[in-house]
Amino acid sequence: MNVMVKSLLAISVTLLSFVGTALAEVVAEDAWSRASIGMTRPGAAYMNIRNAGVETEVLIGLRTDLALKPEIHLSSINDKGVSSMLPAGEIEIAPGETIELKPGGLHVMLMGLQLPLMEGDTFLLTLLFADDDEVTVEIPIFGIAARGPGN
Ligand SMILES: [Cu+2]
């Protein structure tokens, strides 16, 4: 039973990636998120976004039913060792380039969570591009202490 559920999940992920690729020539890989404690603090998600096309793609925003205000943020650490984050604005991805969203760097910030992020669940996040292309990614939610897509 469990094996069947897993293979169905794999098929749906493949279909979603295929649709995304056909529309935007952008591929989102190794997406993951972390379980949240309730909904008062924002959630975060990470992935690699690869431009498999021949033209520069500009990531201008995000959409998900899970959060009222999903945004791409950039974390940085100043010379006093204090970390902070700011909205990253529009992100250009050159043909052949991959941008990495990972802890401590660029990340998806899910502000105004509408549901808690539950370990073992997945949610859909749509990447919005300047040329009206959209790529929808199914993001698995790992445990609260997860540090990468293998966890
Ligand atoms: Cu953030």
Question: Which CATH number characterizes residue 18's domain?
Answer: 2.60.40.1890
**What's the pLDDT score for residue 16?**
53
Question: Residue 22 has what pLDDT?
Answer: 47
Cα 71 to ligand 1 centroid, rounded to whole Å: 8
Confirm whether 148 is domain-assigned.
Answer: no
22 domain-assigned? yes
The 3-state DSSP class for residue 21 equals helix
- pTM given for the model: 0.81
C-alpha angle with apex 15: 11 to 17, nearest 5 degrees?
Answer: 115
CA of 125 to the centre of ligand 1 (A): 16
User: Is residue 105 included in any domain, yes or no?
Assistant: yes
Q: Which residues contact 28 (CB under 8 A, 6 or more apart)?
A: 17, 20, 47, 48, 49, 50, 127, 135, 137
124 alpha carbon – ligand 1 mean position (Å): 18
Domain that holds residue 39: 2-142
- Enumerate helices (H) and strands (E) in the chain, giving the number of each: 1, 10
- Alpha carbon distances (Å) from 138 to 28, 49, 92, 122: 9, 13, 22, 6
Residue 39: alpha-carbon gap to chain centroid: 18
Residue 149 domain flag: no
Report the 10 Å Cβ neighbour count for 90: 11
CA of 108 to the centre of ligand 1 (A): 7
Report in angstroms the alpha-carbon separations of 127 from 4, 19, 28.
29, 13, 9
In a domain, 31, yes or no: yes
Q: Is residue 150 part of a domain?
A: no
Q: Is residue 151 part of a domain?
A: no
Per-10-residue mean pLDDT, the chain, length 151? 55 52 76 92 96 95 97 93 93 97 96 96 96 94 89 61
How many domains does the chain fold into? Answer: 1
Q: What's the CA-to-centroid distance between 17 and ligand 1, angstroms?
A: 25
Q: Is 14 contained in some domain?
A: yes
Distance 88 CA to ligand 1 centre (A): 9
